[in-house]
Amino acid sequence: MHKRLAFSIITGIVLSGAMLYFAFRNVPFDDLRHYLMSINYWWVLPGVAIILASFFLRAFRWQILLNSERIRFWQALHPLMIGFMLNCVFPGRIGEIVRPLLIKKKEAYPFTRGLATVAAERLLDTILLVCLLAVVLATVPIDPGHSMHFGSYNLNRRTLVAASHGLLKICLLLIAAVVLVSVRASRRLLMAMLDRIPTLFAFGGKAFSLRIERMISRPLKAMVEHVAGGFAVLRRPGMMLACVLLSVVIWLLVALSYFVILQGAPGIRLSFAEITAVMVIVCFFIALPSIPGYWGIWEAGGVFAMTLFGVSAKEAAGFTLANHAVQLFPIIAAGLISALITGVNLWQVALKPDPGEMPAGI
């Protein structure tokens, strides 16, 4: 396990270094260093407070999606912070799996249902970001010839549109899954199909068919029920409206944190609408395959976005690098604090989750 941890950390450092090189290779290092030293970091304090406030709202939204009287706010907050912290440190967005695992272990909440609530959360965020990107593409004149080479990527308007189309397809798949398991008629049809699985193995005798039913049909039916439960809130107008409004406020707070931190950046004067457009573009570029913490691809997306508004490459690179650190490090610190409070062994859940946690109760 320690070898895997060391390999993961070393690989992450090497990839981060390579990606940061591609992002900043055209920016003189001395100019970048001087710019970073010229930033008024006192603006970081209110920026961090806003970032943490957005995560408190995320925890409140997740508590609504979990839809369980047993799970209070703090019981939702700690797994959420641990999950986001792991996403910043380890590859594969493992934090999305760890969150429902921790809720299952601590609160006996079904894993599959918890995973469905994470999917519902991502669905809300992605739909909102796709809508915001549509506004950006319609209102911000992006020169088709404006591009930035970043490793194997060529970041331009076409890349941005391709990323939005990819996320839109994910939204449609999630919506199809919600419909399939949430609509009573389609769920009944799916359950009937699962009930027929043992009959396909009738040639093996009654005992074998019963074994197939016990090992395959029943667990799959339970999984469908739990997934339907995880998406249940999205079928309730009042709770759905609350989750949508919370999602809007969450992303407005993220944009506000960018704007507040920007006040300490010399030479850059962007409006709240413009920095919101920068945030949206960064979010879509980090949807591309990248390393933990999105180092490099975040900076490349930020520089690309800010130069659209006439910001120089040096200033854009300095602000984006500083803002990235401010956005991530408080999350990592809060996740570590949550792990200490709850007694979670981070290495165990990140590198070697207990396989027994997932099948039992699904």
Closest CA to 15 of 290, 243, 248, 271: 290
Angle at 323 between CA 318 and CA 324, to 5 degrees: 100
Q: Which two tokens stand for residue 235?
A: 């079928």
pLDDT in tens, 290-349: 566 677 778 888 888 888 888 888 888 889 888 988 888 889 889 888 988 888 776 666
Instruction: Indicate the domain borders of the chain.
Output: 39-180+231-357
The reported pLDDT for the residue numbered 57 is: 96
- Which of residues 119 and 346 earns the better pLDDT score? 119
Least confident segment among 196-205, 207-216, 284-293: 284-293
pLDDT, tens only, 33-58: 676 788 888 999 999 999 999 999 99
What pLDDT, on a 0 to 100 scale, did the predictor assign at position 350? 60
Kindly compute the dihedral angle of the four CA atoms of residues 74, 76, 82, 83, in this order, to the nearest 10 degrees: -170
How far, in Å, CA of 295 to CA of 150, rounded? 12
- DSSP notation for 114-180: HHHHHHHHHHHHHHHHHHHHHHHHHHS---TT--EEETTEEESHHHHHHHHHHHHHHHHHHHHHHHH
Nearest to 78 by CA among 346, 327, 347, 336: 336
Provide the 10 A C-beta neighbour count for residue 141. 7
Specify the pLDDT at position 291.
62
* Average pLDDT value for the chain: 77
3-state secondary structure 92-103: CCCHHHHHHHHH
State yes or no: pLDDT of 144 exceeds 90.
no
**What is the pLDDT at residue 59?**
95
Q: Would you list the DSSP string of 31-92?
A: HHHHHHHHS-GGGHHHHHHHHHHHHHHHHHHHHHHHT-TT--HHHHHHHHHHHHHHHHHSST
Give the list of residues 6+ apart from residue 192 with CB closer than 8 angstroms, or none. Answer: none
The pTM (predicted TM-score) of the whole model is 0.77
225-263 pLDDT tens trace: 666 666 677 677 788 889 889 999 999 999 999 999 999
Residue with more model confidence, 118 or 164 = 118
Percentage of residues in the chain with pLDDT exceeding 70?
A: 72
322 vs 143: which has the higher pLDDT: 322
Query: Comparing C-alpha atoms, which of 93, 95, 90, 89 is closest to residue 114?
Result: 95
- Choose between 260 and 153: higher pLDDT: 260
Phi, psi of 150 (to 5 degrees): -145, 95
**Joined tokens for residue 74:** 């703090």
Q: Indicate the burial class of 53 (C-beta count within 10 angstroms; 0-12, 13-18, 19 or more).
A: middle
Find the mean pLDDT for residues 125-147: 77
Q: How confident is the model at residue 357 (pLDDT cuts 50, 70, 90)?
A: very low
